[in-house]
Amino acid sequence: MSEKETILTQTGLRKLESELETLKSVKRREVAERIKTAIGYGDISENSEYDDAKNEQAFIEGRILQLEKLLRNARIINNEEVDINTVGIGVTVTLKDLEFGELIDYAIVGTAESDPFENKISNESPVGRAIIGQKKGATVDINVPAGIIQYMIMDIRK
């Protein structure tokens, strides 16, 4: 079975590579030291420090494997190939909520680098799916649990 392609911007690639490097070079050592210290306390069968450190170690190793898989299957979106005539990965769009008149900017990114708190939405999110391929001036309906939200695409830029 082939693995799913990970679509990343250059910024997203650097961010994931940096996280992977930190996990491998810093966090692994820190947790190994915590395990060593906890073992020094004696009986590890009832040692909460040891259990916590082992759990953290498992999390770190799992995240390392996840990041390596994402990076192995990465397709990088170059800024030159980003078309600002239609909404796609690598662009920033300004949307206008047609009910309330509010404007919001979203950067359209691949799933691996989406972060709603930074207004980076995935091309696979409900809003992302609805606006991908649309042009400036288009009106889109987005189904959300509360009903349907209508947005107008006000601007598309790099």
How far the first Cα of the chain sits from its last, in Å, is 35
Q: Where in the chain is the domain with CATH 1.10.287.180?
A: 6-77
pLDDT of residue 2: 58
Q: Which residue has the higher pLDDT, 62 or 41?
A: 62
The predicted structure's pLDDT at residue 1: 47
Length reported for the chain = 158
List Cβ neighbours of 81 (8 Å cut-off, separation of 6 or more).
90
pTM for the full predicted model: 0.78
Distance between CA 57 and CA 14 in Å, rounded?
A: 24
Task: Please provide the CATH number assigned to the domain covering 80-157.
Answer: 3.10.50.30
Residues of the chain with CATH 3.10.50.30: 80-157
pLDDT band at 157 (very low <50, low <70, confident <90, very high): very high
CATH of domain 6-77: 1.10.287.180
pLDDT of 83 above 90: no
Beta strand ranges found along the chain (DSSP E): 6-9, 74-77, 92-97, 103-109, 120-122, 139-144, 147-157
The pLDDT assigned to 16 comes to 94
How far, in Å, CA of 80 to CA of 48, rounded?
Answer: 52
Query: Cβ(65)–Cβ(78) under 8 Å?
Result: no
* Residue 43, pLDDT score: 74
* 96: pLDDT strictly greater than 60: yes
Compute the average pLDDT of residues 17-40: 94
Is the model's pLDDT at 100 over the cut of 70?
A: yes
* Angle, alpha carbons 61-64-70 (nearest 5°): 145
